[in-house]
Structure formats: structure tokens, C-alpha cells
Amino acid sequence: MTSHIMPTYGRLPITFERGEGAWLFDQNNNRYLDAVSGVAVCSLGHAHPAVHQAICKQSEKLLHTSNLYNIAVQEQLADKLIEKSGMDNVFFCNSGAEANEAAIKLARKYGHEQGIENPAIIVMEKSFHGRTLATLSATGNAKIQQGFAPLVEGFIRVPYNDVKAIEQAVEQHKNVVAVLVEPIQGEGGVNVPADDYLNQIRSLCDRHHLLMMLDEIQTGVGRTGRFLAFQHNGILPDVCTLAKALGNGVPIGACLARGKAAKVFTAGNHGSTFGGNPLACSAALAVLATLDAENLIEQAAQKGDAICSAFKEQLRGNTHVVDIRHKGMMIGIELDSPCAELVQAALQNNLLINVTSEKTIRLLPPLIINDQQIAQLVETLSTLIVKHTDTPHES
Ligand SMILES: *Cc1c(COP(=O)(O)O)cnc(C)c1O
């Protein structure tokens, strides 16, 4: 049978029919342990009753009215996000790329207001910010940009985890208005920077009057053991973008701003038909309430530590394991050779994992994963890694 879907994805040969917590079931009712969570989206697991109930109840009343009118659940969600983040206001959209588009537009307008005609944003090597034209231009991955020239201008790229490189770029280019960075690079290989990296960027941005813009689309909403990853550093950015886990599968994105950045957009500057609609906002409100009610963010920190210690124990002495790193439940196991085939091998063992940046196994389990499931994840994957690294392969 030919598919009529554009072939933009390399898909695994499996179709899931339903989910329950950390489990997914295929069409033959075979059970798989999900350690990817739809790429950091379903942090509460699949078919969480709180999200289910919230969207059912909302759909009985109202799905959409547009932003021509006030939307009460959107106001409530904004209040909650502000309370939890320490930011000042929010623009709602439908995806991560759109949240970053809002941030990029905000930074440019901020620059223009200061008389900078050609505002530039510093971005990082190996970064990922999305697939729209502006966000793929900001992304530090030649493969993602290949074939889509001319790219959007106004981005200056420097190495990740290198504050001096940012400083040099700022001194060299008089038109820099913002720094856009992921607190931990996800697609780029689960790259965890130095503990004080964000603090250093904060003080650099203060010294040079730049907007510090954090892409927390993957790290946010509890994933790293804090509601937002920057909360590990005791700082506040000027702009912060969210999406992925915010709706636990219902599409929603958000661009949060603070202080001078919160005053940049005025009526008519930006918009979205669906952004912040009642359905998506009611799902997100349920997600935030459930994270608190089930104490899941604190658990993300503890379970993440437990998972990594267990892998370190199981893989101790394996010289092909270069590094095991994590913050909360954002976990990377870097091998010394490409390991994309481990995804297939894991699938055959009823386990869903991801490999990114060729050599790094990325685990983003749902925050509700239990001890038994953690044990199964560590046992199954460690065995596969040992097998993989024992087998000679081309490098
Ligand atoms: C997934 C992701 C995006 C893009 O989000 P979409 O919803 O796919 O547009 C942007 N930045 C980061 C860090 C991401 O992980």
C-alpha cells in the first residue's frame, strides 16, 4: 500500500493503538516500555486521567473562540505559568518552533526600538530550535538547513558551553540584541553545560543589555527536576520558550517574557489563530496541577539520579561507554561509535529509546515511570549496549 503522507520522517515499522502510563500497546496488543515519551511530550505518561477529564470537560463547553475575545482558561494558565516561572507575561502558540519564532520576533523588535537596524541573535553550535525558516536558521545543524537556502539572516553562531565565545561575538558585532540558548541541548546530544553556564550568560547579558532567551521546550515543565531548568541556577531569563510537555500531547507552545522584554509586543505585533485556545489551555492546566499533586518534579530529580546510577553500575568498565550524563529525567548515554541501530534492537525487545547526534542514546522517560519499569529499562538497555559494544562495527 502506498502512503499518501509526505516522506519527511524515517519512521519505525510499528503502529501504536493505545497507551497507559509508561506503556504503549501496538495493534496486536504487544506492550512496549516508552522511554521517549513522544520526545519529552507525554511526561505524565499516556492516557493520564487528569488530562483526559480536562479535555473532555472543556470540549463539552467550548473548544475555540479565537483571540478576538478574552479566554478565561488562557488567563488562568498564564497566571499559573507566571507564578511557577517568575516571568511577567506569556504569548501562547501551538508548537515549539512557533514559541521560538515569537522569541526571535520579540528580540528583533527590542533591537529596533533601540535604534539597531540590523539586530542579530547569538545562537549555539549543535543547537535545535525548530523547523520553520527562522528557527531552522537559528538551529546549529547543517543537515537541517540543507536545501533550504536562503536562510533567515541575523544569527551569529558560537560554540556551546563557551561564554568567552559569546563575549567575543558581542564585542565583534555591534548589532547583537539577544542570546538564544538551550539550558541542556537535547537534539544536539543531551549536552549538559558547566553548572554556572547560565549564570555567566545572565551576567554577560546584563553587562551588554542583551536579552537572555532560553529555549526550554525540551528541558521545561519538570523534565530536569525543576519546573524550568534555569531554576537550578537561581537566575531569571528575559525570555523563555515552552512547548512539548506543557500539554502532555495536546499541542501548545508558550513564549514567556519578563521586565523590558515583557513590554516589547503591543496589539497587532504578533498573533495566532489557535494559540492559547480553550482546549489546549485546559490540558495544560491539568498538566501543571498534576505535576504538583503527584509531586512529579521532585520525583524527576530522584528517578533521574537513580536511573543514571543504575546504568553506571551496569556499564562500569565498558570502555565503549564514553559518558553517562543527565539532569533529572533528561538522560544521555554516549558511546564511542554510531549506535542508531540500537533503536531497532530495543524495539525488538519491547523498549522505546532514541538516539541523537549519532552516538548518544537519549532517554526521556515519562516522569510517572515506576521502579519496576526503571529496572526493566536499565536491564534491557544495558544488555543491548553491552551486545552492541562487543560486536565489531565500522566507525
Ligand atoms: C522540539 C524542540 C523544538 C521544536 O518544537 P516543535 O514543537 O517541534 O516545533 C525547539 N527547541 C527545542 C529545544 C526542542 O527540543
pLDDT in tens, 128-149: 999 999 999 999 999 999 999 9
For residue 307, the domain's CATH number is 3.90.1150.10
**Residue 42 shares a structural domain with residue 157:** no
- The confidence band for 393, taking pLDDT boundaries of 50, 70 and 90, is low
Is residue 243 within 6 Å of ligand 1 at its C-beta?
yes
Q: Are residues 313 and 356 in the same domain?
A: yes
Residues 224 and 372 in one domain: no
Q: List Cα–Cα distances, 121 to 88, 90, 92, 134, 211, in angstroms.
A: 22, 21, 22, 11, 9
Task: Say how far apart CA 35 and CA 330 lie, in whole Å.
Answer: 10
Are 90 and 169 part of one and the same domain? yes
Query: Above 90 in pLDDT, residue 199?
Result: yes
Q: Are residues 160 and 224 in the same domain?
A: yes
The whole-number pLDDT of residue 390 equals 87
Question: What letter represents residue 117's amino acid?
Answer: E
265-315 residue pLDDT tens: 999 999 999 999 999 999 999 999 999 999 999 999 999 999 999 999 999
What does the pLDDT average to over 152-158? 98
Q: Over range 243-271, report the average pLDDT.
A: 98
164 is catalytic: no
Residue nearest to atom 10 of ligand 1 (CA): 129
Q: Work out the average pLDDT over 228-234.
A: 98
DSSP letter, residue 70: -
Domain assignment present for 65:
yes
Domain ends where: 268, 293, 318?
293
Q: What is the mean pLDDT of residues 345-352?
A: 98
Name beta bridge partners: 122.
156, 179
Which residue of 8, 182, 218 sits with most ligand 1 atoms within 8 Å of its CB, as the best mutation to test the pocket? 218
pLDDT-above-90 percentage for the chain:
98
Catalytic residue (one of 80, 126, 244, 359):
244
Measure the CA–CA gap between 43 and 41, rounded to whole angstroms.
6
What amino acid occupies position 358?
E
Phi and psi at 218, nearest 5°, equal -95, -35
Please, which pLDDT band fits residue 391 given cuts at 50, 70 and 90?
confident
Which cell numbers hold the place of 355?
A: 538516539
In this predicted structure, what is the pLDDT of residue 394?
A: 53
State whether the beta carbon of 34 lies less than 6 angstroms from ligand 1.
no
* Active-site residue identified among 91, 128, 155, 265: 128
Whether 148 sits among the annotated catalytic residues: the reply is: no
Distance CA 57, CA 278 (A): 11
Is the pLDDT at 395 greater than 50? The verdict is no
**Arithmetic mean of pLDDT over the chain:** 97
Residue 8 in any domain: the answer is no
CA of 217 to the centre of ligand 1 (A): 6
The predicted model gives 78-91 an average pLDDT of 98
Asked if residue 350 belongs to a domain, the reply is yes
DSSP H stretches of helix in 220-366: 278-293, 296-314, 341-348
75-80 long-range Cβ contacts below 8 angstroms, 24+ apart: 76/281, 76/285, 77/276, 77/281, 77/284, 77/285, 77/288, 80/285, 80/288
- 130 Cα to the center of ligand 1, angstroms: 5
What is the average per-residue pLDDT within 34-51?
98
Q: Is the CB of 186 under 6 A from ligand 1?
A: yes
Ligand 1 binding pocket mutation candidate from 141, 217, 218 (most atoms within 8 A of CB): 217
Q: For ligand 1, is residue 128 a contact (CB within 6 Å)?
A: yes
Quick one: 92 and 176 in the same domain? yes
pLDDT higher than 50, residue 208: yes
Q: Is 91 in contact with 254 (CB distance < 8 Å)?
A: yes
Task: Judge if the beta carbon of residue 242 lies within 6 A of ligand 1.
Answer: no
Whole-angstrom Cα distance, residue 162 to residue 128? 17
Categorize the per-residue pLDDT at 191 as very low, low, confident or very high, splitting at 50, 70 and 90: very high
- Enclosing domain of residue 23: 16-47+299-390
Question: Would the CB of 97 count as within 6 Å of ligand 1?
Answer: yes
Q: Does some domain include residue 3?
A: no
Q: From start to end of the chain, where are the E strands?
A: 16-20, 23-26, 31-34, 89-93, 120-124, 155-158, 176-181, 211-215, 239-242, 253-257, 321-327, 330-335, 351-352, 354-356, 360-363
Q: Is 357 in the same domain as 330? A: yes
For ligand 1, the distance from its centroid to the CA atom of residue 100, given in whole angstroms, is 8
Q: Which of 293, 309, 339 is the last residue of a domain?
A: 293
pLDDT, residue 1, reads 74
Q: Report how far ligand 1's centroid is from the alpha carbon of 93 (Å).
A: 13
Boundary (domain end) residue, out of 244, 277, 293: 293
Q: Treating both helix axes as pointing N-terminal to C-terminal, what angle do 296-314 and 278-293 enclose, rounded to 10 degrees?
A: 70
Q: Is residue 327 part of a domain?
A: yes
pLDDT band at 392 (very low <50, low <70, confident <90, very high): low
